[in-house]
């Protein structure tokens, strides 16, 4: 591409590799910053181009940090990139990721507290106390865990919103009517909600739907497919930019 600035593209690739390494180490906040830098450098070097691989890492980071709205927008943008490239299957896979992120964003107050829709007031109070103690932003502060703090700040707001709505009988009645369809959908959900898995301090090394072979993809702008297994050692050492996040429903 004659319009590309090779040094700028190389710097963008370096930022991306740093982002992937940080995410693989479970440092989603640092990885997101590197992915943002990669996107900016690539955009400047290519005069407006979209670095789809860096965008995918940004999406994974936002999802890992419970910023589900931002993650959904990134996945939608990846779907648009795939559409422009004529990759319909890829676009549909990215949009499934976007729908999954929105499901997490729009989870009901009952899902936030881990309760059935018929929970009694005493159960709600008990669940609120347990969740607020686990997710209070001050818990573990100073432990040099940016990811845990970011997740806690976002989720703690949702916990308080749930308490305010469900412990007021009028608000709860209105909410139950408005959320009826979503409650029905959630009743058939088999996977646990991320905020009910493991301890809040123990951030997973990768987000739930993270790419399984981030260092083992052969080309740029690879679709969200499921690789057959862990990459060979020699492949891991390659300086590559592609990535393959697993689509929802994968193992």
* Residue 249 DSSP class: T
DSSP calls for 148-205: HHHHHHHHHHHHHHHHHHHTSHHHHHHHHHHTHHHHHHHHT--SPPGGGSS-TT---S
Report the C-alpha gap between 44 and 195 in whole angstroms.
37
**What is the model's pTM?**
0.77
Compute the half-sphere exposure of residue 236: CA atoms within 13 Å on the CB side of its CA: 9
Please give the pLDDT value at position 144.
60
Report the C-alpha gap between 219 and 42 in whole angstroms.
16
Query: How confident is residue 6, by pLDDT bands cut at 50, 70 and 90?
Result: low
Please give the pLDDT value at position 145.
84
Residue 80 has pLDDT above 90, yes or no: yes
Residue 81 has pLDDT above 70, yes or no: yes
List pLDDT tens digits, range 38-57: 999 999 999 888 999 999 99
List pLDDT tens digits, range 140-163: 665 568 899 999 999 999 999 999
Rounded to the nearest angstrom, the gap between the alpha carbon of residue 211 and the centroid of all alpha carbons in its chain is 11
List pLDDT tens digits, range 93-127: 999 999 999 999 999 999 999 999 999 999 999 99
Query: How confident is residue 188, by pLDDT bands cut at 50, 70 and 90?
Result: confident
> Which helix (H) or strand (E) is 121 found in, with range?
helix 121-135
Look-up of token digits 């308080």: 160
Identify the weakest region by mean pLDDT among 21-35, 153-167, 172-186, 190-204: 190-204
Residue 229 has pLDDT above 60, yes or no: no
- Identify which has the larger pLDDT, 69 or 215: 69
Please give the pLDDT value at position 242.
45
């Amino acid at each position: 591409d004659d319009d590309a600035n090779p040094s700028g593209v190389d710097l963008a690739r370096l930022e991306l590799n740093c982002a992937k390494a940080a995410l693989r180490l479970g440092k989603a906040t640092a990885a997101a910053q590197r992915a943002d830098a990669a996107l900016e450098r690539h955009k400047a070097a290519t005069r407006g181009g979209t670095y789809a691989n860096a965008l995918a890492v940004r999406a994974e980071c936002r999802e890992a940090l419970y910023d589900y709205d931002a993650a959904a927008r990134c996945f939608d943008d990846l779907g648009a990139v795939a559409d422009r490239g004529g990759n319909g299957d890829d676009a549909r896979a990215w949009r499934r990721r976007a729908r999954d992120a929105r499901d997490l964003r729009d989870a009901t107050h009952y899902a936030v507290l881990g309760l059935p829709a018929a929970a009694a007031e005493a159960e709600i109070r008990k669940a609120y106390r347990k969740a607020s103690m686990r997710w209070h932003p001050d818990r573990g502060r100073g432990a040099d865990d940016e990811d845990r703090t970011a997740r806690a700040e976002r989720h703690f707001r949702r916990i308080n919103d749930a308490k305010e709505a469900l412990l007021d009988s009028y608000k709860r009645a209105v909410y139950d009517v408005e959320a009826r369809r979503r409650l029905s959908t959630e009743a058939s959900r088999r996977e646990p909600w991320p905020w009910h898995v493991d301890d809040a301090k123990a951030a997973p090394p990768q987000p739930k739907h993270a790419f399984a072979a981030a260092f083992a993809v052969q080309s740029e702008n690879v679709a969200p497919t499921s690789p057959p297994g862990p990459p060979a050692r020699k492949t891991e050492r390659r300086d590559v930019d592609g990535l393959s996040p697993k689509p929802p429903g994968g193992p």
